Amino acid sequence: MTLSFRFASTLSLALTFSFAVLATSGATARPQDPQIRVNEAQSPLAGASDAASSAQPAEIAVQPLLDAPVTDTQSSRLPAASLAELVDQVEVPETLSPDIACLASAIYFEAKSESLAGQLAVGRVIVARTASGRFPSSYCGVVMQHSQFSFVRGGAMPGIDHASRVWRQVVRIALIADRGAWKSPAEGALFFRAARVGAVAGKTRIARVDNQIFYR
């Protein structure tokens, strides 16, 4: 049976979850690291703390965030045993809502070369931002916010081959992130940056996933 994201109201209630509102500090964005606003002056203590909290990808495990699987009420399919299995179960709809398209586009441009866990972590950052009260309340608002994502130029995104396998995969990840159907390795993060960039001052490091480091 194929997976559907049209849920009965009772299942929708089961899938409802909340995010903690996290405070953010003022900063400036580095051109090479647009994903997170980083203080230009790095503290030696911040660097030491960042290194001490390092987590290698092999140490990170993902798991279901909610007890209820992302499926319809008539499905007899058991909950997925892994994120990869869940991705395989997700049916890509013919038409995406603007917000899901924005969420998927951000995952595509920021993490299409990362693992499924890395893609999910980026998606969940955007979801968490919408619930934080510190950022716009829609996915498109978060993604298009000025100076946040380098792939947004002049208020527009580059084109995407929507027929590609990679796009269909990130759409599935976006749907999973939107529903909170699988726990991100960096759940609760509001920021991320490339691992090649220096440590971040004033933020709490959560995890490293592939080539990205996540903070709240």
CB count in 10 Å sphere of residue 69 = 21
Write down the pLDDT at residue 200.
75
CA dihedral 158, 36, 207, 90 (to 10 degrees): -30
CA dihedral 142, 148, 159, 98 (to 10 degrees): 0
Q: What is the mean pLDDT of residues 9-14?
A: 37
Write down the pLDDT at residue 197.
83
CA distances from 162 to 1, 2, 114, 187 (A): 24, 21, 19, 28
Amino acid (one-letter) located at 132? S
User: Please, which pLDDT band fits residue 79 given cuts at 50, 70 and 90?
Assistant: confident
For residue 23 the two structure tokens come to 């405070």
Q: What is the mean pLDDT of residues 65-86?
A: 61
Reported as a single tens digit per residue, the pLDDT across 135-183 is: 999 999 999 999 899 899 988 999 999 999 999 999 999 999 999 999 9
Greatest Cα-to-Cα distance within the chain, rounded to the nearest angstrom: 56
For residue 90 the two structure tokens come to 């997700």
Residue 20 has pLDDT above 80, yes or no: no
Write down the pLDDT at residue 190.
96
* 169/116 Cα distance (integer angstroms): 9
DSSP 133-168: SSS-SSHHHHHHSTTT-TT-BTTB-----TTSHHHH
What kind of architecture, by CATH, is found in domain 34-67+82-215? Orthogonal Bundle (1.10)
Q: Where are the domains of the chain?
A: 34-67+82-215
CA distances from 133 to 54, 78, 139, 186 (A): 28, 35, 13, 19
Write down the pLDDT at residue 201.
81
Backbone angles phi, psi at 140, to 5 degrees: -65, -40
pTM above 0.75, yes or no: no
* 121/104 Cα distance (integer angstroms): 12
Residue 8 has pLDDT above 90, yes or no: no
Residue 18 has pLDDT above 90, yes or no: no
Residue 63 has pLDDT above 80, yes or no: no
Of residues 149, 121, 5, 147, the one with CA closest to residue 60 = 121
Reported as a single tens digit per residue, the pLDDT across 102-115 is: 999 999 999 999 99
* 175/124 Cα distance (integer angstroms): 10
